[in-house]
């Protein structure tokens, strides 16, 4: 065995604290070590060339690199091993940067001792490392996209255009999500529905996209290249191929229900179409509110339908599909302002949410007023954002700009309006945002720097009084407002919470789903083959959502395009002869990767290597030592401990 040890300076990051010379001398004394070198940057091209030429010249067969964290440069050095014709798994890294020089910046001597120990551990482990090979697995071209908002739509279209088979699942009767509800988009003021609706019809017409609306994913099992999803499809009781959207059914329906699409500002019938641009373009019978499907109960809609599109004999169905990768785009809900009772939402009739205002403004523009909101209007920013009292510490990123947009639209509809935006910090960080903010100020929108403590209603005229300080002049604001708009932030949607449990993927402290790496893997999750798109990962505006959706599609294509992929070889394996069949490993495995197999009367546990993530829980808990983690077997761990004891 001929081990080469390389100790990195990391351009001073390590060498300023750790005594490199001492570490080199120490490593030279270890058994089987034939060469020790130190270098400024081993990860650089020059550093790697040095290792490669040493491997040839000194016939090194195992390598130890004492440098940074393997999660940082591990992949670089593994690729280097492949170039040298060595197996990537006879390489070990000792982390003497994050764990020595950075952690013990004020204790150089102790840091040096620890660096020596960690290097010794790596040498002891590499002696017992054996080559591991990556299994090549076949992978198909099928993708499940969960959520039909703009993120899901964009991801589905990109994947479909690239020739992949897409199943797009949406729980509502139409795709489009929140974007379909918006009046205009900031800062360009494009009509939101007008730019969204062509994309929605593209989805419906796309030969590679199978659209499943009014449907929910209820279970998922399997792994990359073989995910099995169970989808519940709710009946709409209307045949979309026959429905002409004439609306005769709605007209005769006797039931009024608050219209979700208009945020409760108007009513719809129990048989309805959520919006004019709905896709699929068809009515839906909402069975929760329908008087009943029995002809005796009502059946007015069926009788009114000339196209004979209404069929009461429909039932809930489930559908099983197999896909290779999954994109999660379950979006956001708006913060429920009733959680901040100081603002009186639901109690004072003139307090509205910004999403309600989006619907109002759109109707106002077309002359079909939903309600008159008057002329003196205040926006309260950061409702449900940046507030420790309700455990929402994050900034929702869109409220400053949508308030700026809505204020200008309100003024355009009625120039005599007086609009005030009460903010804490104005965040105009995106492309064209600052210019848009300036335009609003030019148009007379007044920005007041102060966060509203509470709203009171004048019971005589229903006008609203704000308890708020202008922090720039330290003066309290007086006067009454006709309407107060709460600029509500984003929270993880109910769908996101459900899908998180089904897919078992992590979340960050804000409740949104966690990306695999905040910088370099912003749309991956820690589960291979599952990607995130849009606000499911955190608040963001439409351009960012679309960019992320395209990124998620590209990352999914990257895995599927070759038709095969290499599986991670660091998995557990169970020795059938030693296994006593106690089942402890099965109970501790967090990935359901272990199951019993029988051979005659004897049963033993077996690991499904495709599901195993190499966490080591089974190896740690197995009483007989039958379960072993490849690359971290018991003998190796004993040797690593001996090296420092």
Helices (H), strands (E): how many in the chain?
16, 34
Residue 274: how many CB atoms within 10 A of its CB? 19
Which residue shows structure tokens 């395009």? 561
**Rule CB under 8 A: is residue 470 a binding residue for other proteins?**
yes
Strand 469-470 relative to strand 475-476: parallel, antiparallel, unpaired?
A: antiparallel
End-to-end CA distance of the chain: 24
Which one of 30-38, 41-49, 427-435, 443-451 is the stretch in contact with other proteins (CB under 8 A)?
A: 443-451
> How far apart (Å, rounded) are the C-alpha atoms in residues 426 and 437?
9
Does 194 bind other proteins (CB under 8 A)? Our answer is: no
**Cβ pair 90, 63 in contact under 8 A:** yes
Pairing label, strands 317-323, 226-233? antiparallel
Q: How far is the CB of 357 from other proteins (least distance, A)?
A: 22
Of 562-591, binders to other proteins (CB under 8 A) are: none
Options 450, 489, 538, 614; binder of other proteins; rule CB under 8 A: 450
Site string for other proteins, 476-495 (x = CB under 8 A): x-------------------
Residues contacting 344, CB < 8 A, separation 6+: 351, 455, 456, 457
Site string for other proteins, 233-262 (x = CB under 8 A): ------------------------------
Interaction between residue 427 and other proteins (CB under 8 A)? no
Binding of residue 471 to other proteins (CB under 8 A): yes
Q: Give CA–CA dist 639/645, Å, rounded.
A: 10
Number of residues engaging other proteins in binding (CB under 8 A): 22
Question: Does the footprint of other proteins cover residue 456 (CB under 8 A)?
Answer: no
266 binds other proteins (CB under 8 A): no
Residue 190 lies near other proteins (rule: CB under 8 A): no
Q: Is there a cis peptide before residue 280, judged by omega within 30 degrees of 0? A: yes
Length of the chain: 645
Those residues with Cβ within 8 angstroms of residue 314's Cβ, 6 or more apart along the chain or in another chain: 235, 236, 237
Q: Which two tokens stand for residue 368?
A: 């079909």
Gap between the Cα atoms of 608 and 594, Å rounded: 6
Which stretch, 405-413, 469-477, 489-497, 512-520, contacts other proteins (CB under 8 A)?
469-477
Provide the token pair at 59. 């016939």
Q: How far is the CB of 382 from other proteins (least distance, A)?
A: 7
Q: At a CB cut-off of 8 Å and minimum separation 6, what does 437 contact?
A: 400, 401, 404, 426, 428
Which CB sits closer to other proteins, 289 or 456? 456
Token look-up 């990767």 returns 593
Binding part of the chain for other proteins, among 229-237, 445-453, 559-567, 588-596 by CB under 8 A, reads 445-453
| Subset of 371-390 contacting other proteins (CB under 8 A) | 382, 386-389
Contact 570, 74 (CB under 8 A): no
476 or 641, CB closer to other proteins?
A: 476
460 binds other proteins (CB under 8 A): no
Contact with other proteins (CB under 8 A): which of 311, 424, 573, 608? Answer: 424
Distance CA 456, CA 485 (A): 14
Structure tokens at 93: 């890294």
Contact of 225 with 140, CB cutoff 8 Å: yes
From 81-89, 133-141, 328-336, 463-471, span contacting other proteins (CB under 8 A)? 463-471
Range in contact with other proteins (rule: CB under 8 A) among 100-108, 127-135, 467-475, 550-558: 467-475
When the beta carbons of 253 and 477 are compared against other proteins, the nearer one is 477
Does the protein bind other proteins through residue 464 (CB under 8 A)?
A: no
* C-beta of 389 vs 509, nearer to other proteins: 389
Candidate list 300, 427, 451, 504; residue touching other proteins; CB under 8 A:
451
Q: Indicate whether 342 belongs to the interface with other proteins (CB under 8 A).
A: yes
We find the least distance from the C-beta atom of residue 451 to other proteins, in angstroms, to be: 4
Closest contact distance (angstroms) between CB of 387 and other proteins is: 4
Site residues (vs other proteins, CB under 8 A): 342, 382, 386-389, 424-425, 449-454, 466-471, 474, 476
């Amino acid at each position: 065995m001929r081990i080469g040890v390389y100790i990195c300076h990391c351009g001073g990051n390590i060498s300023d604290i750790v005594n490199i010379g001492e570490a080199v001398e120490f490593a030279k004394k270890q058994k089987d070590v034939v060469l020790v070198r130190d270098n400024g940057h081993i990860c650089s091209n020059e550093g790697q060339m040095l290792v490669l030429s040493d491997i040839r010249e000194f016939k090194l067969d195992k390598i130890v690199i004492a440098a940074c964290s393997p999660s940082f440069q591990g992949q670089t050095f593994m690729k280097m091993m492949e170039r040298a014709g060595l197996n990537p798994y006879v390489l070990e890294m000792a982390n003497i940067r994050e764990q020595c020089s950075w952690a013990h910046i004020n204790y150089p001597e102790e840091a040096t001792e620890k660096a020596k120990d960690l290097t010794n551990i790596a040498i002891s482990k590499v002696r017992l490392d054996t080559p591991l090979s990556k299994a090549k697995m076949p992978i198909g071209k099928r993708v499940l996209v969960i959520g039909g908002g703009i993120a899901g739509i964009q991801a589905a279209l990109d994947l479909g255009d690239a020739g992949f088979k897409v199943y797009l699942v949406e729980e509502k009767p139409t795709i489009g999500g929140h974007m379909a509800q918006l009046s205009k988009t900031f800062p360009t003021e494009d009509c939101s529905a007008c730019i969204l609706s062509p994309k929605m019809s593209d989805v419906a017409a796309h030969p590679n996209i199978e659209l499943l609306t009014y449907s929910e994913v209820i279970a998922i099992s399997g792994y990359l290249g073989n995910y099995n999803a169970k989808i519940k499809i709710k009946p709409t009781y209307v045949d979309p191929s026959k429905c002409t959207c004439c609306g005769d059914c709605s007209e005769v329906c006797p039931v009024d229900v608050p219209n979700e699409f208009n945020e409760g500002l108007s009513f719809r019938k129990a048989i309805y179409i959520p919006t004019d641009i709905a896709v699929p373009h068809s009515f839906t019978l909402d069975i929760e509110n329908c008087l009943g499907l029995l002809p005796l109960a009502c059946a007015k809609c069926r009788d009114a339908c000339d196209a004979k599109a209404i069929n009461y004999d429909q039932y809930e169905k489930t559908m099983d599909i197999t896909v290779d990768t999954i994109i999660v785009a379950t979006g956001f809900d708006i913060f429920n302002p009733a959680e901040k009772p100081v603002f009186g939402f639901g109690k004072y009739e003139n307090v509205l949410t910004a999403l309600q205002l989006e619907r109002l403004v759109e109707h106002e523009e077309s002359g079909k007023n939903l309600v008159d909101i008057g002329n003196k209007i205040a926006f309260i920013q950061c409702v449900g954002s940046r507030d420790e009292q309700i455990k929402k510490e994050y900034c929702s990123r869109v409220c400053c700009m949508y308030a700026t947009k809505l204020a200008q639209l309100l003024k355009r509809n009625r120039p005599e309006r007086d609009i005030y935006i009460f903010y804490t910090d104005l965040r105009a960080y995106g492309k064209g945002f600052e210019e848009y903010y300036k335009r609003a100020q030019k148009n007379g929108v007044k920005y007041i720097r102060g966060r509203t403590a509470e709203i009171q209603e004048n019971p005589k005229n229903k006008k609203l009084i704000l308890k708020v300080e202008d922090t720039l002049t330290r003066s309290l604001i007086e006067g009454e407002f006709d309407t107060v708009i709460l600029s509500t932030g984003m929270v993880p949607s109910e769908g996101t919470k459900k899908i998180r449990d089904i897919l078992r993927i992590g979340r960050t402290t804000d409740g949104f789903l966690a990306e695999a790496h905040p910088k370099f893997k912003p749309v991956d999750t820690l589960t291979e083959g599952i990607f995130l798109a849009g606000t499911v990962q955190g608040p963001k505006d439409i351009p960012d959502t679309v960019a992320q959706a395209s990124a998620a599609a590209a990352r999914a294509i990257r895995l599927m395009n070759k038709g095969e992929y290499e599986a991670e070889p660091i998995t557990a394996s169970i020795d059938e002869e030693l296994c006593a069949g106690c089942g402890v490993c099965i109970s501790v495995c967090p990935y359901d990767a272990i199951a019993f197999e029988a051979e005659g009367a004897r049963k033993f546990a077996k690991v499904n290597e495709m599901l195993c993530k190499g966490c080591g829980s089974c190896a740690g808990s197995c009483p007989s030592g039958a379960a072993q983690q490849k690359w971290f077997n018991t003998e190796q761990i004993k040797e690593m401990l001996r090296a420092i004891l």
